[in-house]
Amino acid sequence: MWDWKSLQHFQSRFMKQIKLLAIFAILILPSSISYKQPFHYYSYKEMEEFLNEMEEEYPEIMKFYSIGKTYGGREIYVVKISDNVSIDENEAEVLFMGAHHGNEKLGYQFLLYFIKSMCENYSKNESVAYLINNAEIFVVPMVNPDGVENNTRKNVEPNNCIGENIFPILKGVNLNRNYDAGWNEWRPWYFLSTTSTPYGDLILYFLDFPPEYRGEKPFSERETKAIKNFVESRNITIAIDFHTGAGKIIFYPFGYTDKKKPKDLEKFISIAENISSINGYDYAEAGEGVIGMAIDWLYEKHGIYALIIELTRNVAPRDAEEVREIIQLNLPVMHYIINRAIEEKGRI
């Protein structure tokens, strides 16, 4: 059993190791790693410029607007792609989200490429035209724009944690732990990884230890409130939340418990299997122990078939060729998801 003294000792040693690793990275990594073709991820400002350009060029099928504002004063934008884009039609609705975790940059970059691909091919490709004519496609490229700009997993709103002005890791809330799904499922430990330590084969954290801090209450954060209000104003059928860092894998609910399964488990497996047949990724239940996830809330509270797609192991790949391959591999997945939503809408 862990007593409080042992825990304090472990956390003290862990923080020392983190500092040493940071110093090592600063001194060694820039001179020892080189990338043949470094990929450029858009900044928040570049995303705004891109969206403005796309709306100016394709006003009949694409528009974007703000659904909220962050602590840092940045707008949280949603993009709508559909024929008759200014009208809410009785069509299937899909939602794609990226950058719940601001350092996971490939998710939003992929979604920006998807937006461009759909708009450019509307008049050239019958399959793309069919999807846009029969669905309302919503994209939130950056759920966490403050995190993107600061390259942090969490948002940057102060959480009154002692030392947060000294150690950035202490600041902010993990937005994908702030949704009202299993949020109160308190556990004394959170299993972060299987990295070996002097204390065993697991790194142990309190559930609310800063890297995974869930916030003071569900939807305490401006960003998750914005998503909540938007979702509750729509009638979404399928939602995909893009992440990186956990490998190439598809997750479906639930993440906060393994004691119950989705009542639509067969449908989730069907969707995951079809995605897997396109991109070759593995698929699995999100697994017990991850509270407050968007996909769990979307399904449990609203009946939306919501899944996570982890695009790659690297949080933000720098090799341009690798990024290109991941994007090309997953664009057909987007077409499948929209078409599946249209089919589901037709069954109602």
- Positions marked catalytic: 310
- The angle formed by the CA atoms of residues 285, 291 and 293, to the nearest 5 degrees, is 70
The continuous run of DSSP H or E covering 21 comes out as: helix 4-32
The continuous run of DSSP H or E covering 136 comes out as: strand 135-140
For 341, how many CA atoms within 13 A lie in the half-sphere containing its CB? 30
Distance of CA 220 to the CA centre of its chain: 18
- If phi > 0 it is left, if psi is from -120 to 50 it is alpha, else beta; for residue 162 that is beta
Residue (of 140, 123, 143) closest to 132 by Cα position = 123
Alpha helices in 151-258 (DSSP H): 222-231
What gap in Å lies between CA 181 and CA 184, rounded to an integer?
8
Secondary structure (3-state) at 241 = strand
The continuous run of DSSP H or E covering 137 comes out as: strand 135-140
Ordered DSSP codes for 66-127: EEEE-TTS-EEEEEEE-TTTTS--SSEEEEEEE-SSTT-HHHHHHHHHHHHHHHHHTTT-HH
Any residues with CB less than 8 A from the CB of 162 and at least 6 apart, and which? 170
